[in-house]
Each structure stands twice: as structure tokens, then as C-alpha cells.
Amino acid sequence: MEDCLFCKIAAGQIPSSKVYEDEEFLAFRDIAPKAPVHILIIPKKHLADLASCTEEDLTMLGKLNLLANKIAEAEGILNSGFRLLTNCRADSGQEVAHLHYHLIGGHFLGDFCEKQ
């Protein structure tokens, strides 16, 4: 998708601090981390947000959750715990309109409703 920041990162046109990549997903460090570990996990397929997903995306969404476990383990936060969240549309404060999950951890995270 033209003019999508995360599509450009997925295509390697914009550099990122990559922590994982396969045919379907890319994970990279957030440029403005809110915690010691703050990684964004994206499907390479352009989807604007979670609300744009359909049954066609069920398998991808499931795989993404298990990938979060794998990355959390590699980052050493599987046992201490982490948060996996996605912001969806205006009231969430979503800034980038390409589906992405924030994987956050490395210290106690506190208030659930704070914008990530």
C-alpha cells in the first residue's frame, strides 16, 4: 500500500530495528519505547486496523499471538510477563493505519488504560 509507513518498513524501504521476520510477519523495536521492551509486530499484508480484519484473517491473528510468545521468550520477558495490545481507530489514539501489536514488558506495566 502506497504511503503506508509500516508497509514501507516491511518492504525494507525504511530502516527498522528488526527483531524477527518471516514471509508473513515483521517485528521491530518501537522508535519511542514506553518500556524496556517495546516491539511492534505487524503482518506484512496491509490491513488498516483490527476492525478491518475478517474471517480471512483468523489464522494470521492466531499466529501473531503465538509469535508474540516466541518474541517475548527471546527478549527474556516470557516469565516476568508482558502486554500485547493493538490500538484501533481514533478513540484509541492509533497513529499508524497498518495493523500492529505492541509487545511491551521488562518492568511492571501498571495502569492498563494509558496510551501505549
Give the footprint of ligand AMP on residues 33-52 (CB under 6 A).
Answer: 40
Written as nine digits, the cell of 76 is 527474556
Q: Quick one: how far is CA 38 from the chain centroid?
A: 9
Taking the C-alpha atoms of residue 38 and residue 107, their distance in angstroms, rounded to an integer, is 11
Rg of the chain over Cα atoms, rounded to whole angstroms, equals 14
Taking the C-alpha atoms of residue 37 and residue 39, their distance in angstroms, rounded to an integer, is 6
Written as nine digits, the cell of 64 is 501473531
Interface with ligand AMP (CB under 6 A), residue from 30, 43, 64, 71: 30
Instruction: Give me the least distance between CB of 27 and ligand AMP, in Å please.
Output: 11
Whichever of 18 and 107 has its CB closer to ligand AMP, that residue is 18
105 binds ligand AMP (CB under 6 A): no
To the query of whether residue 100 is one of the catalytic residues in this protein, the response is yes
Residues annotated catalytic, as ranges: 100
Q: What does the binding site for ligand AMP look like in residue numbers (CB under 6 A)?
A: 5, 16, 28, 30-32, 40, 87, 93-96
